[in-house]
Structure formats: structure tokens, C-alpha cells
Chains A and B, each alone.
Chain A
Amino acid sequence: MTALTLDEQQQARRAERRKRWVAFAFVVPLLVFIILSFVAPIGAMLYRSVHHPTVAELIPQTLSQLERWDGQGVPDEQTLNVFTVELQALAKERLSGKLAEEFNRAYAGMSSVVKSSARKLRRESPELLAEQGASKLLAMHKRWSEPELWFQVKRAGQVFTYDYYLTALDMEVTADGGIQSREQAQIYRQLYGKTLNMALVITLLCALLGYPLAYFLANLPDKKANLLMILVLLPFWTSLLVRTTAWIALLQTNGVINSFLMGVGVIDSPLDMLYTPFATVVAMTHILLPFMVLPLYSVMRGIDPSYLRAALSLGAKPIPAFARIYFPMTLPGLSAGALLVFIISVGYYITPALVGGTDGQMISNIIAFHMQSSNNWELAAALGSLLLALILLLYWVYDRFVGARNIKLG
């Protein structure tokens, strides 16, 4: 082997660099596309979970007045006068509803107080309010004189906030600045727990049903295995909504299963199956089972059955032989399938929304609820960020142990 001259080395490096650029150039269009169409929107949403300028935009002067407030007792008269003037202006521009919503988030139950006060203030003259607004305000509702309210309003006036993450974790800031678990119902932590729990049950069910099936299929002669694989692949290729529809038809009060069971006399009155967590678990197991069977099958197909046969012929007992020799070889397929099923089911929305009823809802459904029904987009973003962090952690695990490149389809 002859040593390369310096010139040759340089040339080789340049060629290498050029090759890299060529490879990269192929990827650039998609990379730019995905960053603009997918990564940026999600990034913007994450930003929304910590950036919330609404209150600061609605009542800027009140907030600057509140700077002077020491947090003891009710803010001084001048502050409240300024507030009534701003509230009146908002009422005239039809923005008081928005402020009411913000106050209500900061301090529960304030929405009706703000709205009714705003309606009454509309009739007053601004000059009068600038002078005597405070006394009028305090007379309108006793909650205006609660110091805790003004503490929370001051907090809500901050443009950058981590409060939505606190809410998403069922925590709150107390008047002395400490953080504690919320006194009211622990909604979100419970819901995260339930979601993980359901995803785990679904994953286990998929493994329990999928493992033997994959083993059975993998040890069949090719022709027969290919034929039976159609029964796995057809559901895989069938629209998700079709499969969900099928479960609605099967599970509803007057559905196929209830009619059948009543027809043969097993039960007298129909069972409540649809709109329960049970329906969510069954339908999702059905939907995700192919994601378990396919990687298992492809791993098991590659295992030479003679290993097991050899062990058995050498006198090993079937069960230990299976557990020590065959099972470890299938672990890559099993972990790939299990992680995939778990990742997909943690973030599932459509099926729980349609068949889950009130108790069968998962974290995605509450995110959708805050997006579409309660319009608390910041909280939806915070809940979504937590879910995203969880998914990315799982994806990282998946990429490390299975390799994102090795995802198999069909």
C-alpha cells in the first residue's frame, strides 16, 4: 500500500465533501418542507403554552398601577379607578367578555362578576369613573375586594408564564408565591395516569393476542401464511373510521352483540358496552393489533425453527426451551411492536372520542376539548407539550433500541 500524496489526500477530501453535499441536497427539499409545514407549527404551539400577552394588552394601565401595590389588602383607589375606566372602554369595544374569561382563568368564578360589572359600568361617564370608579366597583360585588384576586390578576398580566404548565399538572400558585397541589379536583394528573394505564392495557392485550398469532403464522408453510396474512393486512389497510364504525355497530345498545346475546338467551337486557372505557380498549386493540403482529411476524420468519428443535431433541423441556432460546430471539420484534402500539395509543383521539363516552376519554380528548369547546388554547398547548415530551421520550427509546429506520410497513 502506497501512501497518498498531500494533493491526493486533499482531492479525496474534496470529493468526499462533494458527495456529502450531493446527499444533503437530495434531502434539503423535504427537510425545508417538513420544518415549515410541521415543525414550525408545533414549535409555535409550544411557544403559545408559555407566551400569553392577552391580559397585558387588555388592561395595560391597571397593570402598571398594580406595580405599586404591595400585595396587602385591596389595591388603592387610584388603581381601581384606572381599572374601571379600562373595563368600561373594553365593554364598549365588546372586549370585556375576553377579559372576563382571562380573570376567570386566573381566579375561578370571576367571569360572571366581570361581565355583570362591565355591563353596569357601560352606563357611567368615564370622567366620573376616573374619580369615583373604585367605590362603585367595590359596591358592585364583594369579590372585587378580595386581595387574592388582584394578586392573581397581577400574575396573569405577565407576558411569559409557566402557569399553564402548573394547571396542566393540577398545581397552583398561592398568594404567598408558593406552589401547591390544587385544592379542587385533580383532573389532569388523573387523566395522564388513566391514559398511560389504558395504553398499557392495550399494549399488553395486543402482545397477548399478537404473539401467539405471529408465532402460528410464522411457522406455517408460505402459501398458507400469505393467505392468512391477508386477514391481518386487510384491517391494517382499512380506514380507521370504518373500523370504529364497525365497533359502534357491534357494541351499541341495540347492536349486533347485544341482539345476539339476547337472541340466544344469555342476557335479558342489553349490556352497556358502547361509550365506556371497555369500548375504547376493545376498539383500539383491534385497530392496533396489526402493528404488533407485523414486526413480530417478520422477526419470527427469520428465526430458524431448527434451533428450538435441536434444543428439544437434546432433551430440554418445551417451556424452558421456548423461554430461553426462542423468546429472546423474538424480543426485537416484540419491543418494536409494543413501543409502536404504546406510542400510538397514548396519543389517540378519534376512537376514544367516538366510542369512549365520558369515562373512556384520553388525554388527547381533553386537549381537543380545550381547543374546541373551552377555547383555553394555552392550556391545550401546555397539555399537548407534556404529551409531546412523553412521546418524544418514547420515540427516542424506540430509535435507540429499534431504529426509526427499521419501521416496517406491511
Chain B
Amino acid sequence: MRLKTLTRISTLACSAVLFGTALSAQAEQTLTVVSWGGAYGAAQKNHMIDPYQKESGTKVLFEDYSGGIAEMKAQVESGNIQWDVVDVEVIDLERACSEGLLEEIPRDILPAGVDGTPAADDFIPDALSSECAIGNIVWSVVFAYNKDTIGATPAASVQDFFDTSKIAGKRALRKRPQVNMEWALLADGVAAKDVYEVLATPEGQARAFKKLDTIKKDIVWFDSWSQAPQLLNDGGAVLVQSANGRFYDAIRKEGKPFEIVWDGHVFDLDAWSVLKGTKNKEEAFKFIAFATQSKPLAGMSDVAYGPTRKSSTPLMDPAAAPHLPTAHLDKGLRASSEFWADYGESLGEKFNEWLLK
């Protein structure tokens, strides 16, 4: 039977295609930078990504994620590293760092400030406190309402967020325990300075969940900060949690009638870090050194996020000053990176069980 030859030829064809496919997959050399998208992402693109691409000639793939350490962990542990530089919330940073997901960033890559101050003195201490990251912005988790639709009694405090008899309607929260647990305790009368101490006890955790129970049926959960302004805009919720900069941007750029409530805001840093095991480590450091210079940091005031270098202050848009988290520190609570490093996992689990209940 001469079909045998035919077989051989088809096998050959099959393997030729396989080979051709493998060849076609040449990878382009690029740096993948991952951040939060939306208004914040746009500001970073303007002041950090685009200027860097121009200066260095490296092509930057600028991607969005919705926070948390899970994706980084999956990449590091499976050895399938896709990201190079990540903008991490400091609330997640200590955990990511202690679990070995991030590279240590040498301090000597940081240039002096625009006024000549050495980097070590120019950065606020919190920005350099972790060996795995360089602080990028100071920002805050706040909630806001729509002035046109809120009715006669606007929300004024974090207590009001949990008070459905005072303000009826849906509340939108990001689907995770961080900040929500803190708010529940604040609203339940725990003083800001005691929040993390109480939250470290089983009783305190139960107390927070009990407080969250009172509004559970009124909560709309979202995954990513960028969904939040949209929810407020289209009436999906009356009181919406988000990063202060996202509301600020919607108010300033799109003229939305939103009002930010600063009471009980949880302020935090965001920091640039480098995923462990990336092939582009040196390039990643170069990018971070570039992006944390005085001028790019000052640009973050476009979305009302405070710079982490003192030398950036004079370069900022003065109109943004009253909207920065630093102008409201007395009403706020500092997010504890250490607490969430220890409790992030177990509270995350409890939180998911609570959600399914």
C-alpha cells in the first residue's frame, strides 16, 4: 500500500507546521509596568510612562490590575513571570515582600531631588521604609456621594455610611476586607488609634463583621477602583468607596456633582516594586529611578495624590493642595501594612466565608 508514503508526507507537513509556529513566536523586548488604570493610570502615563519611553527608547506595556497580591504570587510561584514593575498599595506591600514576591530595590539608584537634596533626605521616611519598594504617592480611601441625588441629609461621617435609616440606598465597597473592616470598627465607635489593636483580636473581628452585617444587603461589591466613580455616576449606589483621586478627577475634569467625605479616610502610600525573578530587573530599576524623580511625582497632583518627595511640593499644581490626603490627616487613619501582612490571609478567608453566608 503506497498510502504509507502519504502518511509520511502528512506527518512531515504536520511537524513542519509545528516548527513554523514555534519560530514565529519571537518575543519583543519590552518592559511591562502594571498599575491601577483610570484617572491615576492616565496621570502616570502622562508623567512617568510616556516621558520614560521617550527618553530611554524602551517600549513600555502599561497594564491595569485591580490590586491584591494573588496575581503576583501566581506568577512568581509558577515561574511564569509576566510583569516587571508593579504599583503596589502599601497595605499589601509588607505581605508581598515578606512572602518573597518582590526584588529588593537598592537605594543608590535614586537620584537627588530637583533642588539637590540627596534622595535619602528628600523622600518622606515612609516611602523608603520597605526594602522592596519605593513610595510613589500618598493617597486615601474615602467615600463620596452625588450632591444632586443625595436628598436633604448629606453624609458627613463614616457612621453615616453604616446608617441606612439616615441615608437609604446602596453602598458600594471594594470586595476585600482591607479598609472595610477598619471602617466598620470606626463606625462602631472604636477610636482611630485603637482600630488595629482591636482588629487583631477574634472579638474585634467579630465586632467588625457584625457591623458590616447591618448593611450587608445594601452593599454593591466591586473589584477595581476604576468601577467606583461609574457606580456613583449611574446611580448604582448612593455612597461609594474609592480612592480620593478618582473622585477628584471626576469632579474636576468631568464636572460631576460628587462630594468627598473625608471622615474616617484611610490613607496609605502606593509604591513601585519589582516582581521577583523578572528578566528585566535592571530596566525595571531604571524605570523606577526615573519615575520617582521630583517632577514626575509632582505630576501625580493632577489626581490629588501627594508626592513622596519633599522637593516635589513647589512643582505641584497649587490648586490641588487642599484636596491632597495630607490636608486631612486629622480625620484619617493610617493603613497598617504590618497588620495586613499578618492578618491579610486569615481575614481574607473569613471575609469570603462571610460573603457566601
Contacts and interface: CB of A to CB of B under 8 A. Distances in A.
Interface in A117-172: 119
A253 B11 contact: no
B150 interface: no
Interface residues of B, number: 37
A397 B316 CA distance: 69
B324 interface: no
Contacts of A104: 345-346, 349
A19 B11 CA distance: 17
A99 B348 CA distance: 17
Contacts of A93: 100
Interface string A1-35: 00000000000000000110010011011000100
B73 interface: yes
B346 A25 contact: no
Interface stretch (B2-10, B30-38, B185-193, B286-294): B2-10
A97 B11 contact: no
Nearest to B97: A94
B99 A98 contact: yes
B321 to A, nearest CB: 36
A174 interface: no
A185 B357 contact: yes
Given A112-B342, A115-B341, A185-B353, A374 B70 contact: yes
A374 B347 CA distance: 12
Given A28-B11, A187-B356, A375 B235 contact: no
A116 B357 CA distance: 29
A109 B200 CA distance: 11
B343 interface: yes
Interface in B102-119: none
A180 interface: no
Interface in B325-357: 341-343, 345-346, 348-349, 352-353, 355-357
A86 to B, nearest CB: 16
B206 interface: no
B58 interface: no
B4 A358 contact: no
B28 interface: no
State which size class the interface on A falls in: 35 or more
Nearest to B13: A29
B204 interface: no
A55 interface: no
Contacts of B3: 22
Contacts, number: 84
B152 interface: no
B70 A375 contact: yes
B95 A97 contact: yes
B74 interface: yes
B99 A29 contact: no
Given A373-B70, A374-B349, A18 B1 contact: yes
Given A109-B346, A358-B355, A25 B7 contact: yes
Contacts of B346: 104, 108-112
A408 to B, nearest CB: 26
A119 B95 CA distance: 12
B349 A108 contact: yes
A309 B77 CA distance: 67
A375 B74 contact: yes
Contacts of B234: 253-254
B10 A26 contact: yes
Contacts of B71: 372
A56 interface: no
A22 B349 contact: no
A111 B342 contact: yes
A102 to B, nearest CB: 11
B1 A358 contact: no
Nearest to B353: A185
Nearest to B78: A377
Nearest to B202: A109
Nearest to B234: A254
B68 interface: yes
A25, A115, A187, A371: most-surrounded residue (chain B CB, <10 A): A115
A374 B70 CA distance: 7
B345 A98 contact: no
Best-surrounded residue of A28, A110, A373 (most CB of chain B within 10 A) = A373
13 contacts: A22-B1, A25-B11, A26-B10, A93-B100, A97-B341, A108-B346, A110-B346, A187-B356, A253-B235, A254-B235, A374-B348, A375-B70, A375-B74
Given A98-B99, A112-B343, A374-B348, 8 more contacts: A22-B4, A25-B11, A97-B99, A97-B100, A185-B356, A187-B356, A253-B234, A253-B235
Interface of B: 1, 3-4, 7, 10-11, 14-15, 18, 68, 70-71, 73-74, 77, 95, 97-100, 200, 221, 234-236, 341-343, 345-346, 348-349, 352-353, 355-357
4 pairs of A and B residues whose beta carbons are closest in the complex:
A97-B99, A94-B100, A112-B342, A111-B345
